Amino acid sequence: MRRALVTLYDADSADGIATLDSELGPTGRPLHEFPDPAPLVGHGPARIIALCNQKGGVGKTTTTINLGATLAELGRRVLAVDFDPQGALSAGLGVQTHDVPTIYDLLLGRGIDPRSAVQRTSVEGLDVIPANIDLSAAEVHLVTEVAREQILAGVLRKLAPEYDVILVDCQPSLGLLTVNALTAAHGVIIPLECEFFALRGVALLVETIDKVRDRLNPAIRLDGILATMYDARTLHSREVLERVVDAFGDEVLETVITRTIKFPDATVSGTPITQFAPEHQSSRAYRQLARELIVRGAVA
Ligand SMILES: Nc1ncnc2c1ncn2[C@@H]1O[C@H](COP(=O)(O)OP(=O)(O)OP(=O)(O)O)[C@@H](O)[C@H]1O
Ligand SMILES: [Mg+2]
């Protein structure tokens, strides 16, 4: 049923983005081919985006890595923050997590310059602040701090001028660390795995975002719901995606990430899939996601 996508730029349409008339994407809406954005003339201040879902294994880390890499390909200066004591983002980007300053040290405010915790990755324009298991103690330490929900925001504020976007890879929980990420963020992306229980827990997550908006961070908005691990060959995957679109409408991003074995392979190699297999369909999907988020205004 799928036709090859051709790039169309329609100068007559309101947003300059052509619609491929007869082709509907997996989300049941017309497919767009988002244009490459104009290069930026200057950098910063960064918009902060939290990748958040308290359900485990839905593609938060994979999306942080690959969206970070594809935004960097488009000339954006990107900082990825590992905010999970498992350190999967750090491992996936092949950076050191021991005997180096980590996000935990910055949260504890030991007078460390946040810049000293930033490491370069193999992708030009993509930097990372690593995490390791020490971060699991942070919730306990932070509980007694003044303005305990705002500590990450304070750290990232110092780094924001140097980046166009900061992506925070949250751990699968709605605890104090995640609330810190939501308090620091301008926007949230919710990756949702296309499987039966996908929608379970999303109401609670949306409720948490609403509470953070009411009490701590009035400006936070939902940048989009990203369907991941989609398998067009199964009726099940298609039905789940249909239900997600019924529930969230236009908040569901048009870009859908297909299930493929290449992701685990890329993770083991410590590089984004866009370097591991640049022409793979998933690399193209993450490039499309980067362009879609720029068109939606989530990234400069
Ligand atoms: N589109 C995909 N197709 C197949 N496997 C994938 C895909 N995306 C991610 N994976 C794999 O699924 C596993 C979980 O992905 P990932 O670590 O990105 O999820 P997560 O939401 O960050 O998990 P956690 O909640 O544990 O932090 C990883 O092994 C990853 O390589
Ligand atoms: Mg993760």
Instruction: Determine if ligand 1 sits within 6 Å of the CB of residue 61.
Output: yes
* Token pair 């488009």: residue: 74
State the pLDDT at residue 23.
Answer: 66
Q: How many CB atoms lie within 10 A of CB 223?
A: 23
Q: Is 148 helix (H, G, I), strand (E, B) or coil?
A: helix
pLDDT band at 242 (very low <50, low <70, confident <90, very high): very high
State the pLDDT at residue 104.
Answer: 97
Instruction: Determine if ligand 1 sits within 6 Å of the CB of residue 178.
Output: no
Q: Which residues of 22-60 are buried (b: 16+ CB within 10 A; e: fewer)?
A: eeebbbeeebbbbbebeeeeeeeebbbbbbbbbbeebbb
Q: What pTM, to 2 d.p., does this model score?
A: 0.93
Locate all alpha helices (DSSP H) within 13-94, ordered by sequence.
60-73, 88-92
State the pLDDT at residue 2.
Answer: 33
With the most atoms of ligand 1 within 8 angstroms of its CB, the residue from 205, 263, 274 to mutate is 263
Check if the beta carbon of residue 123 is closer than 8 Å to that of residue 290. no
Residue 185 has pLDDT above 60, yes or no: yes
Residue 16 has pLDDT above 60, yes or no: no
* Token pair 């971060």: residue: 135
State the pLDDT at residue 267.
Answer: 80
Kindly report, residue by residue over 34-48, the tens digit of the pLDDT.
989 999 999 999 999
Domain ranges in the chain are 44-225+269-296
Q: Which ligand is nearest to the CA of 54?
A: 1
The pair of structure tokens assigned to 68 is 């970070």
Higher pLDDT, 265 or 66: 66
**Cα angle value 178/126/268 (rounded, 5°):** 80
pLDDT band at 11 (very low <50, low <70, confident <90, very high): very low
Query: Span 205-212, mean pLDDT?
Result: 96
State the pLDDT at residue 265.
Answer: 84
Query: Span 271-289, mean pLDDT?
Result: 94
Report in angstroms the alpha-carbon separations of 298 from 40, 140, 144, 155: 15, 33, 34, 21
Locate all alpha helices (DSSP H) within the chain, ordered by sequence.
60-73, 88-92, 103-107, 138-142, 151-159, 176-184, 202-215, 235-248, 262-269, 273-276, 281-295
Of 163, 143, 158, the residue nearest 111 (C-alpha): 158
Report in angstroms the alpha-carbon separations of 5 from 31, 73, 79, 281: 9, 21, 31, 12
pLDDT band at 255 (very low <50, low <70, confident <90, very high): very high
Report which protein residue has its CA nearest ligand 1's atom 3.
Answer: 259
Ligand 1 centroid to 21 CA: how many Å? 33
Residue 107 has pLDDT above 80, yes or no: yes
pLDDT band at 4 (very low <50, low <70, confident <90, very high): very low
Share of the chain above pLDDT 70, in %: 92
Residue 17 has pLDDT above 70, yes or no: no
Beta partners for 119? 128
Q: Which atom of ligand 1 is nearest to the CA of 258?
A: 1
Report which protein residue has its CA nearest ligand 1's atom 28.
Answer: 264
State the pLDDT at residue 263.
Answer: 87
Ligand 2 centroid to 171 CA: how many Å? 6
Query: Span 5-31, mean pLDDT?
Result: 54
pLDDT band at 75 (very low <50, low <70, confident <90, very high): very high
Report which protein residue has its CA nearest ligand 1's atom 30.
Answer: 264
Query: Span 117-142, mean pLDDT?
Result: 96
Phi-psi region of 224 (alpha: psi -120 to 50; beta: other; left: phi over 0): left
Residues 44-225+269-296: name the CATH superfamily.
P-loop containing nucleotide triphosphate hydrolases (3.40.50.300)
> Strand order in 221-228's β-sheet?
119-120, 126-129, 78-83, 165-170, 47-51, 187-193, 221-228
Q: Is 47 helix (H, G, I), strand (E, B) or coil?
A: strand
Residue 95 has pLDDT above 80, yes or no: yes
Q: Calculate the average pLDDT of the chain.
A: 90
